[in-house]
Amino acid sequence: MGRRRKNRTHLKGKGAADASTVVNDGTPKSFIIKHGQVGSSLAQLVRDLRKVMEPNTASRLKERHRNKLKDYLTMAPALHVTHLLAFTLTPVAPSMRLVRLSSGPTLSFRIERYSLMKDILHASRHSRGMGMEYLSPPLLVLASFPPASPTTPPHLPLLMKSFQSLFPPLSPKNITLSSARRIVLVHYNADRGTVDIRHFIITVKPYGVSKRVRKILEGATSSKSKTSTNSTSGFLDLGNEKDVADFLLRKRGEAGPGSEDGGYESAASSASSAAGDDGDPISLADDYVGRNNKKGQRRAVRLDEVGPRMELRLVKITEGVPGKEGAVIYHEFVKKTKKEAAALKATHEAKEKLRKERREEQERNVQRKKQANGAKNDNEDDDDDDGEEQDEDAAGWDDEEEITDGEESDGDGDEDEESEVEEPAPPPRPKKKVRIQR
């Protein structure tokens, strides 16, 4: 039996051509990296933020110690990457830079506080695993940002647009209800001057039934209680109940069957339990993911936070990208007068002019060298052609040579014979004796 070739991981034909061709459809794409010496917590925060930005980010991007920030800036345009989020650790606090490729601006943040995904899930009552929610991009919600007005600080609209450009634009005509699975909340805290980022998953549940009836309707897969469910079988475990009414109508907070203060839940308490914390119901405009979530059904919508959670303080906004910074648009701690700002702007303009002149001079030098090399190659080709023509002429003269005077030819023959006789034969080369040792 022949050895099986492993070819499932290698695309061939049209599949390989499609994989090698990167299509730019205008969707924002991002690189989320860490550089420098960072701890394990900040590295985990980078991985969690990649999870938030899926599917339009490089989830499996691996940084090497020899990689520089310039490497990512050079590679990003070829892959149609529009944003770069770089995390590093400073002596004061962790920091994050949001770079708009490929011309800027660059926003520098200081991370005041953050919580990882695992911390949020451990503290939450409704723990959730990583499911199919990350196959579609999240919805962005911008909250508490002041509207544009003459009294609004000029850096706040730029800050809002920078976060807005991170995610695909929302089109109510083209979006499907089933693709709205997650929400990213960006909240501006005017009192502290910080930006809070939180990540939620949208949960849709039946409305108008109690939690115990909901467990029966949804099945044991959605419940994590060890006392009432059996996760291995997928069905509710009612072995300890004498009657199904004991499970459905037991009073809230009761220990279980066999208690002295046993009794059933009243209609008022059942109604309050049915409403719970889900708030006002909504009618589904289209089919949604989940059991019995059909169009027109009344459902309760809840947001479950899954993390990560960050509190950012904007420190600086500069023109351009790292390595090619321009003027400082905004700085949290350094304030300059109009005269100092004008002088700084003139300095940046002079540097940019000098950089442009050097680039143009370099391009002219390259073109001149190319023309010189082309002329040199043409001259060499002409010399080769002349040499070939001369060889052809000489060969043609020998072929067409005619001797009309027989005496001159005989005389020439005698001279050739005499020259052959007069030339002495070279002496024979002496043979070397080789002694063979036995």
Instruction: Determine the Cα–Cα distance for residues 64 and 79; give it in Å rounded to an integer.
Output: 19
Backbone angles phi, psi at 42, to 5 degrees: -70, -35
Instruction: Determine the Cα–Cα distance for residues 136 and 314; give it in Å rounded to an integer.
Output: 29
Instruction: Determine the Cα–Cα distance for residues 234 and 19; give it in Å rounded to an integer.
Output: 40
Q: What is the pLDDT of residues 321-378, one digit of tens each?
A: 998 888 888 999 888 788 877 887 788 788 888 888 998 999 999 999 988 888 887 7
Residue whose token pair is 């989020």: 85
Enclosing H/E stretch for 98: strand 94-100
Q: How many CB atoms lie within 10 A of CB 311?
A: 19
| Widest CA span in the chain | 151
Instruction: Determine the Cα–Cα distance for residues 40 and 121; give it in Å rounded to an integer.
Output: 18
Encode burial over 229-263: b for 16+ CB neighbours within 10 A, e otherwise. beeeeeebeeeebeeeebbbbbeeeeeeeeeeeee
Please list the residues that pair with 184 across neighbouring strands: 140, 199
> If you ran DSSP here, which 8-state letter would residue 85 be given?
E
Instruction: Determine the Cα–Cα distance for residues 302 and 140; give it in Å rounded to an integer.
Output: 16
pLDDT at 206: 79
Please list the residues that pair with 86 across neighbouring strands: 33, 97
**Dihedral angle computed from the Cα positions of residues 222, 227, 229 and 232, in that order, rounded to the nearest 10 degrees:** 110
Look up residue 228 and give its two tokens: 């009432």
Instruction: Determine the Cα–Cα distance for residues 238 and 230; give it in Å rounded to an integer.
Output: 10
Look up residue 392 and give its two tokens: 């052809």
CB-facing half-sphere around the CA of 208: CA atoms within 13 A = 6
Enclosing H/E stretch for 353: helix 338-399
pLDDT at 259: 47
Q: Residues 6 or more apart from 27 whose CB is under 8 A from it?
A: 56, 168
Q: For 129-132, which contacts have Cβ atoms below 8 Å and span 24 or more sequence positions?
A: 130/51, 132/181, 132/289
Look up residue 61 and give its two tokens: 């991007």
Look up residue 67 and give its two tokens: 């990689």
Instruction: Determine the Cα–Cα distance for residues 206 and 222; give it in Å rounded to an integer.
Output: 13
Enclosing H/E stretch for 236: strand 235-236
The answer to whether residues 229 and 220 touch, using CB atoms and an 8 Å cutoff, is: yes
Instruction: Determine the Cα–Cα distance for residues 288 and 426; give it in Å rounded to an integer.
Output: 106
The answer to whether residues 100 and 292 touch, using CB atoms and an 8 Å cutoff, is: no
Q: Give the pairing type, strands 182-189 and 139-143.
A: parallel
The answer to whether residues 81 and 26 touch, using CB atoms and an 8 Å cutoff, is: no
Cα dihedral 65, 66, 69, 73 sign: negative
pLDDT tens, N- to C-terminus, the chain (438 residues): 566 666 555 555 555 555 555 567 789 999 999 998 899 999 999 999 999 999 999 999 988 888 889 999 999 989 999 999 999 999 999 999 999 998 889 999 999 999 999 999 888 876 666 678 899 999 999 999 999 888 899 899 999 999 999 999 988 888 888 899 999 999 999 999 999 999 999 988 877 777 777 776 665 544 444 444 444 455 677 777 777 777 777 655 555 544 444 444 444 444 444 444 445 788 888 888 887 788 888 888 889 999 899 999 999 999 999 988 888 889 998 887 888 778 877 887 888 888 889 989 999 999 999 888 888 877 776 666 665 555 555 445 444 445 444 444 454 545 444 444 455 667 777 666 666 665
Radius of gyration of the chain (CA): 41
Instruction: Determine the Cα–Cα distance for residues 36 and 224; give it in Å rounded to an integer.
Output: 41
pTM for the structure as a whole: 0.67
The answer to whether residues 84 and 61 touch, using CB atoms and an 8 Å cutoff, is: no
Instruction: Determine the Cα–Cα distance for residues 224 and 244; give it in Å rounded to an integer.
Output: 20
pLDDT at 83: 95
